Amino acid sequence: MLISVIIGAVIITLLFISFTSEKIDKFIFALIIGGALGNFYDRLVYKAVPDFIDIHYGNFHWFTFNVADIFISIGVFIFILRSYFIKS
């Protein structure tokens, strides 16, 4: 339950930050917030976040994840690239 409260607070904080951000940052935060809200909803309703995408190749096994995790990862990746390449 404590983790859910912390996640909710982080989502609310990101929402406030996104309102005062530039256009590209709004898009980045939308990806992250959308994925976080999806996982947050699953956590509240189902008491767990179902991960259902499981990738295997030979002996290699990647982490199991879901679509919300993809959006969070893409948002964070773009955020890091933007921070590294675009100085404001």
Q: Which residues contact 19 (CB under 8 A, 6 or more apart)?
A: none
Is 69 catalytic? The answer is: yes
Hey, what's the torsion of the CAs at 80, 84, 87, 88, to 10 degrees? 10
Q: What is the CA radius of gyration of the chain?
A: 15
Whether 51 is catalytic is yes
* Catalytic residue, candidates 25, 42, 54, 69: 69
Q: Which of 25, 42, 51, 54 is catalytic?
A: 51
Catalytic annotation, residues: 51, 69
